[in-house]
Chain A
Amino acid sequence: MSISRSQNTNRGAGTSLPGTRTLDVEVAEDRHAESMMINMGPQHPSTHGVLRLILELDGEEIKRCEPVIGYLHRGKEKVGETFSLHKFIPYTDRLDYLAPLSNNVAFALACEKLLGIECAPRAQSIRVICHELSRISAHLLGLGAYAMDLGAMTIFLWTFRERETIYSLIERICGARFTTSYTRVGGVERDLPDDFLGKLEAFVKEMPGRVDEYEAMLSRNKIWVKRTQGVGIITKEQALQFGLTGPNLRGSGIDYDVRKAHPYLGYEHYEFEVPIGTEGDCYDRYLCRVMEMRQSVRILEQVLQTIPAGPVLNRDGDGVLKSVLPEKTKVLTNMEALIHQFMVGTTDVHMPVGEVYFSAENPKGELGFYLRGDGQLTPARLRIRGPSFANLQILTELLPGHMIADVMAVLGSIDFVMGECDR
């Protein structure tokens, strides 16, 4: 629809009416050919952290999308090469900061794989409790923030109510609500308090009812369904090519859960199901997360039945004393224990020569650690394979063709966190 020049010129005295004058207007041939560049972020309520999206829009439709990341790059891999394994544990809390205990567990297992140390049996169950509690916690926040982005603020407040309960539980375990630094090589830092299992049982009893509440609000809500079904469809081929993991992969119909494929911490003994989607759209990923919460509760119930007694740090075996913290009661009375406490906690532990990769099924996906040791005191390479780094890359292929309002739906359903994306 272009207005050509000739229409607007009324040259010639014979054609113009008295009292009017002609306007010589030059208009672009096709004014709709230009697209608009919009910058979303890095400070934006819906980008879930410091993500920047450069969107090229044709009206409401996105023609091109380029995510810019790195606004939270804190140099953790460099820190990993500078500090010893134990000193790095607090840095792992801040990777996926919605589920700090999960990161602790993944890192401790990677260290144990490299050093060849078994985890104490009771600590394995405690770690499973931590892993699943933080999975519930992360999914709750993901769901709450996702719903809030799409306008349902109630869900945010409701999920935070449950998160506060989980925070109280975590605080009972290790003293901190949030950045826990709870696991150690060979086990966990301290044993559970006496009343903890009772409180966990109470939480496990009430949680399914709460999840029912969320589903009642969202799953058949017309607005929710319209905004998430058919939006952001990720095909199986895309998911495999981009290395998606977690609910993003399973929402597209691929049956892969690290807890089933490469079981750790005794997951092969627990009965639980892995929800798999069919369409690969935002709604499927949302449902995967909700159902995963229910399965996590199921796992917690089983752990409550089977948690063994015993020490929470494995101090048996060769080479263990050089990597595992000694008993605190002995540290102040026994010279050898004191020396080992200093060696392991303050100075560094000699790494073996070799490289391993270990990954755990974190709430956001597969969090992996590639550790290389070369006999020195610090790792030669500590690579953090953050699931959100791979998950975010798909936006370049996924968003074009969608409308700008769908960006919130897609971002919330991918459920990434910049801490593990930028590291």
Chain B
Amino acid sequence: MTPDTSSGRPATRGDERGPAPAGRRTAELVVPEQASDTGLNDEGGFFVTQVDALVNWSRKNSLWPLPLGLSCCAIEFMATAASRYDMARFGAEVARFSPRQADLMLVAGTCTYKMAEAARRVYDQMAEPKWVISMGACASSGGMYRTYSVVQGIDTFLPVDFYISGCPPRPENVLNTMMKLQKKIEREKTLRP
């Protein structure tokens, strides 16, 4: 059920703004152009929506985090993964430290310029689909360190899906953000245009 490109519309979901940049996923509200109840329109309709829902469901419930534990927020991440707050309930059972095996990069802690190169390299090694959560004030904006060696926000070199505020954020906050990320993943369009 490949989308029909004879009309000249781009096949990918990049639409009129141009092709989606590599490695970047934006979430958009799904408003199908034609509500079709026969499922036999150009884009595949009902069928691809269901396949998409299945794919997204499986992805969101098995997010394997890569904790880029840089400083204090890593300790709260460990507390989130421990038995009281238990991230494993959400499917994030294994914290994979190898980027090849992880989906979600959780940058927890202060990123210095010296570390930024390594962080970027780790991100590049992750396979699609991948998401980034910036945990804590230091990762989101440099935090309390407006100094010569601290990157003022990892979004200067990494695409961030969610920012968690807090210094460090409570584990409940981290779990809340992961749930929001799950909702965002639900809305993603893989097969749909």
Contacts and interface: CB of A to CB of B under 8 A. Distances in A.
Q: Do chains A and B touch in the complex (CB under 8 A)?
A: yes
A199 interface: no
B46 to A, nearest CB: 43
A71 B69 CA distance: 12
Contacts of A50: 70-71, 115
Contacts of A161: 82-84
Interface in A141-171: 141, 156-157, 160-161, 163-164, 167
Nearest to A91: B144
A30 to B, nearest CB: 34
A177 interface: yes
Interface stretch (A74-82, A341-349, A373-381): A74-82
Nearest to A74: B145
Contact of B119 (A43, A44, A72, A167): A43
Given A97-B75, A163-B79, A178-B75, A73 B112 contact: yes
B115 A42 contact: yes
Interface string B90-134: 000001010000000000011010110011001000000000000
Interface residues of A, number: 33
A78 B112 contact: no
A94 interface: yes
A323 interface: no
B71 A419 contact: yes
B78 interface: yes
Nearest to B78: A160
A418 B71 CA distance: 8
Interface in B37-69: 68-69
Nearest to A69: B114
Given A43-B97, A178-B72, A179-B168, A160 B79 contact: yes
Given A91-B144, A97-B71, A97-B72, A72 B112 contact: yes
Nearest to A42: B118
Interface string B149-193: 110000000000000000110100000000000000000000000
B145 A141 contact: no
Nearest to B70: A50
A243 interface: no
20 contacts: A43-B97, A45-B95, A71-B118, A72-B109, A72-B112, A73-B114, A74-B145, A74-B147, A78-B147, A91-B144, A93-B72, A97-B75, A141-B75, A160-B83, A160-B84, A161-B82, A163-B79, A163-B82, A177-B170, A178-B76
Given A45-B97, A97-B72, A418-B71, 10 more contacts: A42-B115, A43-B118, A43-B122, A73-B149, A74-B112, A75-B150, A94-B71, A161-B84, A178-B72, A178-B75
Interface of A: 42-45, 49-50, 70-75, 78-79, 90-91, 93-94, 97-98, 141, 156-157, 160-161, 163-164, 167, 177-179, 418-419
Interface of B: 68-72, 74-76, 78-79, 82-84, 95, 97, 109-110, 112, 114-115, 118-119, 122, 144-145, 147-150, 167-168, 170
